[in-house]
Structure 1
Amino acid sequence: MRTAVRWAATALLSAILGFALAAWIGSSIPRNGDWQEPAVDAEGTVTILIGTNAIHTEIIMPIVTDAVDWRAYFPVEDIANPGRDYTHVGVSWGERGFFLETPTWADFNPVIAIGALGGGDGLIHAAYYVRPAPAEGFRELRIRPAEYRELARLIAGDIVPPPGRKTYPGYDRHDVFYDARGTYHIGKTCNQWTSDRLAAAGIRTGWWTPMPGGVMKWVPDLPGS
């Protein structure tokens, strides 16, 4: 019995270490490796932010630009506190059960996590912000107008239109969840969704990014950090 337990523990540890190593290697392989941020004074650039809470990553965008008005997709009336002068909306995608049950690492449940990796329904998280300031967990990224239009088109493609979707309470008074297209699994995690959308828009990011650090390593850090 003790031998079996030791073997099981060793196998589990090996699997965890193997996953971590594979994630580090996969996230270090670039997509769109030649891409560079446009200059600060380049015409028409759009500044987005990539945010993380150490579990998930999100793409934070101006609510209204020439490319898209996100209020048509995420009505501000759907959040508990719609009365503020919001300027940005953060969008992320994940597995329904894991998303709703794991707002922080303190809420992590391995049973839910393992179940999600085996496959689950997609869910969109939309969080409204008022002039989000750059910080370690909110890093700015300048992109070109065409890149932003494509990024917005890709994100919109994952959103179930309002008449045919359910809405779920968010973690706070400024956010909300919606039914989304797509199936979550080990090859398509919430963080992989972020990097896939950036890469498909032509922006440099990692190849396989199941963990948030694999996404954030490609986003310029704060000056002096």
Structure 2
Amino acid sequence: MPLAALVLFLLTGTLVPINRKFRETPGGIPVFVVSNGLHTDVVVPTQEPHTGLDWRPLLTAPGQPAPLAAYPFVAFGWGNADFYRNSRGGHTPGVGTTLRAALPSPTLLHVSWWAGPPQPGTRVAALHISAAQYQTLAATIQASFQTDSAGRFVPAALPGYTLHDRFFAAYGRYYILRTCNDWTNRVLRRAGLRAALKAPLAGSVLYQVQHAHKATSK
């Protein structure tokens, strides 16, 4: 595919909605898409009573206490392993890391715990969804984790940025057509939520989720 055609596809894919008829569920399960400007995470309840889903056992290594058990929300993001590794300490990954990420490369899942729901803002989009939609969304997230014989997620050797986050081994390869934001977009799309045809950028994901919220509010 010529470069100009590829760029056009990626950018116009932002504007083309999938699951256009999605509407929020009144009183449904809260989920959030949070962006730092470049990357997006999906934030969900740590324990969800309607579905009985509790993320803590899946995130707990043998012999360790449940991680940050009192934290009511947990965030999931998938991305290039070198990007995560080279962004430690507040650093910005270099040009070499960026160029290598255009080709298929290893990935990790980043999990962080939140003391409360994300606060509304230009980089936060919230939706309320049905129990069935949440179960599909959660299953899609779980399928990206490598698991041990007990079904728990496998911790990565890379330490977290803080005491409130961890990295885990992931499935999938990162490349120019399968980015961190495309992963978030795919999680939403498979759950039946409004998403973009293609979402290479954080703004691509937020644009469709924010439109979904506006459509419900009409």
TM-score (norm 2): 0.82
Greater share of residues in helix = 1
State how far apart, in whole Å, the 2-side matches of 1:25 and 1:161 are.
36
User: Deviation string for 1:61-103 (max 9, x for gaps)?
Assistant: 0001134211122239999xx5572111000111111122136
Pick one of 117, 132, 154 that aligns with 2:140.
Answer: 154
8 A contact 1:64–1:70 mirrored in 2: yes
* Shift of residue 134, structure 1, vs aligned partner: 2.2
Residue aligned with 2:101, SS: helix
**RMSD of aligned residue pairs (Cα, Å):** 2.9
User: Deviation string for 1:118-150 (max 9, x for gaps)?
Assistant: 011121000000112322233211111100001
Pick one of 72, 77, 81 that aligns with 2:57.
Answer: 72
8 A contact 2:32–2:127 mirrored in 1: yes
For 1:126, the equivalent position in structure 2 comes to: 111
Distance 1:159 1:130, change over 3 A: same
User: Deviation string for 1:141-173 (max 9, x for gaps)?
Assistant: 111110000111111111111565534212222
How many residue pairs get aligned? The number is 203
Residue aligned with 2:109, SS: strand
Residue aligned with 1:202, SS: coil
2:14 counterpart letter in structure 1? S
| Larger-Rg structure | 1
Residue aligned with 1:73, SS: helix
Residue aligned with 2:186, SS: helix
* Shift of residue 110, structure 1, vs aligned partner: 1.8
Unaligned runs of 5+ in 2: none
Distance 1:202 1:109, change over 3 A: same
State how far apart, in whole Å, the 1-side matches of 2:165 and 2:92 are.
18
The worse-fitting range, judged by mean Cα deviation, of 89-98 and 135-144 is 135-144
* Shift of residue 23, structure 1, vs aligned partner: 2.8
1:53 counterpart letter in structure 2? N
Distance 1:170 1:78, change over 3 A: farther
For 1:191, the equivalent position in structure 2 comes to: 181
User: Deviation string for 1:178-214 (max 9, x for gaps)?
Assistant: 1101111111100000001110111111011011000
2:59 counterpart letter in structure 1? F
